[in-house]
Amino acid sequence: MADPAIRLTHTDLLHVHQNYEDAASLVKLVYVNDAQPGISRIKAGKGFSYKYHNRTLKDKSQIERIKKLVIPPAWENVWICPLPNGHIQATGFDVRKRKQYRYHTRWQVIRSETKFHHLYEFGKKLPLLRKQVRRDLQLPGLPENKVIALVISLMEHTLIRIGSNEYEKLNGSYGLTTLKDKHVAVSGDNLRFSFKGKKGVVHDIKLHHRKLAKLVKQCRDIPGKELFQYYDDQGMHRSLDSGMVNRYIKEITGDEFTAKDFRTWAGSVQALQAFCALEAAGTATLCRKNIVAVLDQVSARLGNTRAVCKKYYVHPGLIRLYEEKQLPKYREQLNAPAGASKTGLSSEEMTLMKLLRLMNRGIAST
């Protein structure tokens, strides 16, 4: 079962998007966790031995399976699933004490499929979310929902990650909700964000936007180091965090979307634009070269590596459609006058929605 997800319908994939046990069952896996009894790894000379129920593991097939997981030697407190079809195959802690996972390949496939099939549902809810953001940006003062709306609007314009307090504490890296006053410069209608992001990547992002610049300046004027704060009902200033932004998104859309979906959406929109700007490749070599160029273009915009961009932020169906020379015919639709005032989506986004709808219907081709 190299790719079990191709047997599932769009409806199936939407159902299992947040139903992990059902997702595992659909691809013949067992949903497990590392609180259950597992195989432990013990240092033995230059290598390792393994124990299960305090007995040294001698089963050659089990040991071979474990070796194929390629668990880093530096991991500590390693737990290995005794089942070859457990959705998690191993866990451990790296040298920085961060918990890491090794998942079954079939689990990785179905999670990738469900994520990208969920993108169509995100596109359907995006106009509603944008409408509420515009409303909340009009609220008087700087209440919680207005500052959340500001962060979401900035996220759409800049594609800066949402950020988390954990990453800030562990790595000294920042995202929108953890930015400090020192990370932004405001000059009239211009914003400039300068900070160290995930993986130590230094970001220098400029934005020209009168309304957002004005609101960012107001936030920066609130006492305290944190850039994005709000005033509660008692007039006390409070810090914003990523959980509050994600709750807002979920409440407005009525679905399990998060800030990360904006980056996946933007990555796929930008990839579609880039692919459609290219002529159909005459050779397989040129096709591969063009795909790499597009992924590099999108990854530069998102601040990711090419591999991460391809795996998490560009719908794989778009790459396959380019390989099959199916995208050039959508070029005119991309350049059509935007209907955002009626649909809440740009012409590029409407074209992506059309393609997502077609790909979801014909799942075997995605």
Residue 23 in any domain: the answer is: no
Phi, psi of 324 (to 5 degrees): -90, 5
Candidates 50, 120, 174, 313; catalytic one = 313
Residue 15 in any domain: the answer is: no
Where among 54, 83, 103 does a domain terminate?
103
Residue 242 in any domain: the answer is: yes
Residue 302 in any domain: the answer is: yes
Residues 147 and 247 both lie in one domain: yes
Residues 285 and 318 both lie in one domain: yes
The answer to whether 73 touches 94, Cβ cutoff 8 Å, is no
Residues 247 and 151 both lie in one domain: yes
Total domains, the chain: 3
Residue 1 in any domain: the answer is: no
Q: What is the CATH number of the domain that holds 320?
A: 1.10.132.120
Active-site annotation holds for 313: yes
Residues 290 and 354 both lie in one domain: yes
Where among 253, 288, 321 does a domain terminate?
253
Residues 92 and 157 both lie in one domain: no
Question: Per-residue pLDDT averaged across 234-246, rounded?
Answer: 96
Inform me whether the pLDDT recorded for 342 exceeds 80: no
Q: How sure is the predictor about 15, in pLDDT bands with cuts at 50, 70 and 90?
A: low
pLDDT at 14: 66
Inform me whether the pLDDT recorded for 336 exceeds 50: yes
Residues 163 and 177 both lie in one domain: yes
Residue 274 in any domain: the answer is: yes
Residues 49 and 146 both lie in one domain: no
Residues 247 and 267 both lie in one domain: no
Share of the chain above pLDDT 90, in %: 71
Where among 223, 253, 283 does a domain terminate?
253
Residues 240 and 268 both lie in one domain: no
SS3 category, 230: strand
The answer to whether 295 touches 314, Cβ cutoff 8 Å, is yes
Residues 334 and 278 both lie in one domain: yes
Q: What is the CATH number of the domain that holds 58?
A: 3.30.66
Q: What is the CATH number of the domain that holds 212?
A: 3.90.15.10
121 or 169, greater pLDDT: 121
Helices and strands, counts by H and E, the chain: 15, 11
| pLDDT tens-place string over residues 32-84 | 999 999 999 999 998 999 999 999 999 999 999 999 999 999 999 999 999 99
Phi, psi of 223 (to 5 degrees): -55, 145
27 or 114, greater pLDDT: 27
Residues 229 and 273 both lie in one domain: no
Share of the chain above pLDDT 70, in %: 92
Residue 24 in any domain: the answer is: no
Measured between alpha carbons, how far is residue 222 from residues 146, 191, 236, 277 in Å? 14, 17, 10, 45
Residues 212 and 311 both lie in one domain: no
Residue 125 in any domain: the answer is: no
Phi, psi of 333 (to 5 degrees): -65, -35
280's tokens? 């159909």
Question: Per-residue pLDDT averaged across 105-109, rounded?
Answer: 89
Domain carrying residue 315: 259-365
Q: What is the mean pLDDT of the chain?
A: 90
Q: How sure is the predictor about 6, in pLDDT bands with cuts at 50, 70 and 90?
A: very low
**H runs (alpha helix) in the chain:** 10-15, 20-26, 60-68, 105-137, 144-158, 165-171, 210-220, 242-253, 259-276, 284-302, 306-308, 316-323, 331-334, 340-343, 347-361
| pLDDT tens-place string over residues 109-128 | 888 777 787 899 999 999 99
Q: Is the pTM of this model over 0.75?
A: yes
The answer to whether 89 touches 83, Cβ cutoff 8 Å, is no
